[in-house]
Chains A and B, each alone.
Chain A
Amino acid sequence: MASISALSPSVPAPAPAPAGLTRDQLLELYYYMVLTRTLEERLVALYRQARVYGGLFRSLGQEADAVGSAYALDRAQGDVLSPLIRNLGSLLVHGTQPVEVLRQYLATGDSLTRGRDLNIHVGDVGRGFIGQISHLGDLVPVMAGVTLSFKLRRQSRVGLVYVGDGATSTGAFHEGLNFAAVQRCPLVVIVENNGYAYSTPTARQTAAKSFVDKAAGYGVAGGCADGNDVLAVYEVTKEAVDRARRGGGVTLIELVTYRRKGHAEHDSQSYVPAGEIERWATENDPLQRYATRLTQSLGVEPSELTGLEARVRDEIDRATDAAEQSPPPDPSDALVGVHADPPAAPLLWYRRGLRG
C-alpha cells in the first residue's frame, strides 16, 4: 500500500525536528517519560503492599523536567548528574535500569546501596551519577567540586545538579552556587519549582519573584522554561550544558512545574487549595501535552505511542519479577566498608559471646 505522502504530494515535508532532535530521539524522550510514570505506578503498588522501605516520592506531573534536562547531558563525554528525589526520570535517561530502582525501594542486598540507603540516593561515579542526601542543598557544593575537577584537568565534561524550590533557602545551596560561580565551574544548577516544599508553598519559601532572578546575584547565566514542556526543558538545559562545556561557567535554570502528589505517599495534601491538583492534571499533564504534540505536529501515529506504552509496561513487569528474586542484605554486611581501612567495624563484645 502506498504511503500517504505518495498519495498526496501537496502535503508539506515535515518541519525540521524541534530542538535539533531526530524523530527517534523525540520518541525516546516520550519513552523515558512513560517509563518514569509507569515505574512509579509500580512502586505505588508495591508500597501499598507494604513492600517498600521508607517513603515513596512521586514525580507525577514533573516527568518532563527530569527527562528533558538529563537528555541534554552527554554520557559519552563523561557528564555527571546529581538527581534529587523527584528526578527518577533523569537517572533512567542516564542509564540506570528500572530493576535497579526497584531493588533500591525494596532494600535488597544486591541494590545499588546494598540496602544501606533507600529510594534514589544512589551514586556511581563510573556511570556518571552522584546521589543526593536528605540534607537538601548539600549536593550543590559537592557538584561544584566534581566540576572543579573537570576544569582543573581541562576536561570537557559537565555537571548537572537539581534542587527544589525549598533547597534554595539553604546555606549549602548558596555556598555551593557561589563557589561554582567564582571558580567558573562547568555546572548547571536546576531549580525545580514545583510549588511546594513538603507543605510549604513557594511564596513562603522566597520573596523573590522568580528563582531565576537569583542568577544575576551570583553573576551566572540564567534560564527559565516551562517544566511541563519536555522540549523546552531540553532546549534550555542544552544551551546551559553547551555553555558550560565551552568554558562559560555556571547556569542557574528554573523549571516551573507542579507537584501533583504529596511530599511522599503518606501526605494527604490537605494544604493544597481545592481543585488545584485536578486543574494541573487535566490541563497541563506533561505526558499528555507531549503525546498531543508528537501526534498532531510531529507526524507520530497514535498507535506508535500506545505500542511504546505497552512495551514499557512489559519492561516494568519483567523488572519487577527480577527485583522480587533479589535477596535481602546479609546482616553482617552492615559492618563492612565504613572506611577503606579498616575494612569493617568490629563486632561489639555482647555479640561475641559472653564469658564468665
Chain B
Amino acid sequence: MAETTYLEAIRDGLAEEMERDPSVLCLGEDIGAYGGAFKVTEGLLGRFGPDRVIDTPISETGFVGAAAGAAHMGLRPVCEMQFIDFISCAYSILTNYVATVRYRAFLPCPMVVRGPSGGYVRGGPFHSQNPEAAFLHTPGLKIVYPATPADAKGLLKAAIRDDDCVLFFEHKYLYRRIKGTVPAGDYAVPIGQARVARDGRDLSIITYAATVWKALEAAEELEREDGLSVEVLDLRSLLPLDDAAIVATVKKTNRVLIVHEDTMTGGIAGEITARINELAFEWLDAPVRRVAAHDVPLPAAPGLEDFVLPQTADIVAAARWLAAY
C-alpha cells in the first residue's frame, strides 16, 4: 500500500466524493485555478469544472450562507476556509442559521466547512488558530479533527456524506510532515469514534490533531526512560465526543492527562474533565490534569510560539507528575 501525505489524503477524499456524488461541490477563496492556499484543491477545477469548484469573493458569511442554501436544495457543498482563523467571520451564520435550521425549520443542510488549522508553523495570531472550542457549544454542529492520513480521508468522506453540517479541521503542521498508509478502496471513518493510537496500562493521554504526535513521542520517551506504559487516545471527533472510549481508557489506566494545542481556558479539555468526573470518578487514582496552550494570542516568533504551545517535554513532565501522584 502506497504512503500518502495527510494533505494528499484530504485531496483524494474530496476528489473521490466528487467523483462518486455529482451533488458534491467546492466553494472557497482561490480554490480553483490556484488550487487553494495550501493546494488541497489542486487539480479539482480541471477535473470537475467551474460549476463544481467555485472561486468565491472574500466573504465567509456569503459563501457559507450560499452553501446552506444550496444544501437545502439537495447539493452537498464543501466550503474551504483559506485559514480556519477566518471561520470566525462566518460564526454567526454557522451557529444561528446553519446549526438550527434542521431543528426549527426541518430543512436539510448537508455541508462541510474545512480548512487549515493550528500552529507550530510560526504563522502568528491569525494563521495558527484552533477555534474548535468556539463551536463545541453549539447544538446542531459536528466537529472532527483528524491526526492521520487515513483518518483525514475517511472522516472527510463521512463528513461529506453526513446529512448535517460538519466542521472539518485539518492541521496544517501535519499536511506534508505526516505520511501514512490509507486503506485501499472506498471507506469512511464514522464520526464520533475515537481511536487508541497507542496501547498502555499506566496512564492515558487523551488528545487530538497535532498533539497526538507529540503525545506519541512523549509516550516513547516515558517508556524508554521511566518504564511507563502510556496509552494515547486520539479523539478524532470532538462533537460528538466518544464518551465510551474516554471512560474505557480511564478505567484501564486510572490516570488521565488531557492534551490540546488550543488555549487552556474554555478548551475542550475542561469538558472532557467534567465528563470523566461524572462518568468515572471512582476509577481515578489521581486528579485529571490538562496540558494546553497558555492563555495568550499565539505569537509568531519561534521562541515565543514554542513557549506558548505545549511541547513534547511538557507532556513528559506532566505525565511524570501524574504517574507519581
Contact = CB atoms under 8 A, between A and B. Distances in A.
A308 interface: no
Given A337-B102, A338-B103, A339-B140, A144 B72 contact: no
Given A117-B105, A338-B102, A145 B71 contact: yes
Given A116-B104, A123-B106, A130-B107, A176 B140 contact: no
Interface string B63-96: 1111111111111010000000000000011001
B278 interface: yes
Contacts of B278: 349
A121 B97 CA distance: 12
B69 A145 contact: yes
Given A138-B92, A339-B164, A341-B162, A179 B62 contact: yes
Contacts of A144: 62, 65-66, 69
B62 A141 contact: yes
B104 A113 contact: yes
Interface residues of B, number: 44
Nearest to A159: B69
A172 interface: yes
Interface residues of A, number: 44
B92 A135 contact: yes
Given A113-B104, A146-B73, A141 B96 contact: no
Contacts of A143: 69
A340 B111 CA distance: 13
Interface stretch (B53-61, B173-181, B312-320): B53-61
B107 to A, nearest CB: 5
B38 to A, nearest CB: 23
B163 interface: yes
B74 A149 contact: yes
A182 interface: yes
A15 to B, nearest CB: 41
B68 A182 contact: no
B67 A145 contact: yes
B70 A145 contact: yes
Nearest to B62: A175
Nearest to B97: A138
B51 interface: yes
A220 to B, nearest CB: 14
B100 interface: yes
B71 A117 contact: no
B57 A182 contact: yes
Contact of A149 (B59, B65, B75, B140): B75
B93 A146 contact: no
B142 interface: yes
A123 B101 CA distance: 9
A141 B66 CA distance: 5
Contact of A345 (B71, B104, B139): B139
Contacts of A223: none
Contacts of A182: 56-57
Interface in A309-356: 337-342, 345, 349
16 contacts: A116-B103, A116-B104, A117-B104, A125-B72, A139-B65, A141-B61, A141-B64, A141-B93, A145-B66, A147-B69, A149-B73, A152-B70, A175-B60, A179-B62, A341-B164, A349-B278
Interface of B: 25, 51, 54, 56-57, 59-75, 77, 92-93, 96-97, 100-108, 139-140, 142, 162-164, 240, 278
Interface of A: 113, 116-117, 121-125, 130-131, 133-135, 138-150, 152, 171-172, 175-176, 178-180, 182-183, 337-342, 345, 349
